[in-house]
Amino acid sequence: IAGFELTMVDRGSEVLRKRVIVGKPFRQTPVFSDQIEYLVFNPTWTVPRTIMLQDQLPQILKDPDYLARLNISVYRGWGADRVRIDPAMIDWSALGKNNFPYQLVQEPGPQNALGQVKFMLPNQYDVYLHDTPGRGLFAKSERTFSSGCIRVEQPFDLAERLLAGSPNWSRAR
């Protein structure tokens, strides 16, 4: 985290090194250890509650086209019982910490905050590695721009390494 790097080691040898973007000082990436269990290509992004309230709601209030421009759908409820809602039918100014019965879900696409691939390592912090549409941020020397998850530079290089030897998988696929 402190070095803003991901290092992949195979049998004691470094096989891949990539720059990463980690959590902002007020939303730091936690230190933990876990294993990647699976990958998701072209993921949706279900916006975490903290980000919905602190980041997204102020943007929605300032810009009526914000949700449509970023391809974000609004749902009332959770899981199989959730229902898609027209954002124009919501009084956004009446919502807050104790009154936000919605889920915001960004659909896959070029603006999706998770980019084109997400590396899942289920953990207590809900932190994972993922791509990003903001690739220019990797050029910065200090890369604390995320809300806790880890954005990986050139994530398809990592995906290709992780899926090496898997039948029916190639970089092209």
DSSP 3-state assignment of 22?
strand
> What number is the average pLDDT over the span 166-172?
81
Read off the pLDDT of residues 54-69 as tens digits, 9 standing for 90 and up: 999 999 999 989 999 9
> Known catalytic residue: 86?
no
> What number is the average pLDDT over the span 83-95?
94
Q: Domains (ranges, CATH) in the chain?
A: 5-43+110-163 (2.40.440.10), 45-106 (no CATH)
Catalytic site residue from 19, 118, 130, 151? 130
Model's pTM, two decimal places?
0.86
If you search the block for the tokens 């309230």, which residue do you land on?
Answer: 53
Residues 6-32 as b/e (b if ≥16 CB within 10 A, e otherwise) read: beeeeeeeeeeebbbbbbeeebebeee
- Which runs of consecutive H residues, i.e. helices, occur in the chain? 49-51, 57-62, 66-69, 155-163
CB 131 within 8 A of CB 152: yes
Catalytic site residue from 60, 129, 149, 150? 149
Q: What is the pLDDT, as a whole number, of residue 109?
A: 92
Read off the pLDDT of residues 3-39 as tens digits, 9 standing for 90 and up: 899 999 989 999 999 999 999 888 899 988 888 999 9
Q: Which amino acid is at 38?
A: Y
> Known catalytic residue: 130?
yes
Read off the pLDDT of residues 115-163 as tens digits, 9 standing for 90 and up: 999 999 989 998 999 999 988 899 988 899 888 899 999 999 999 999 9
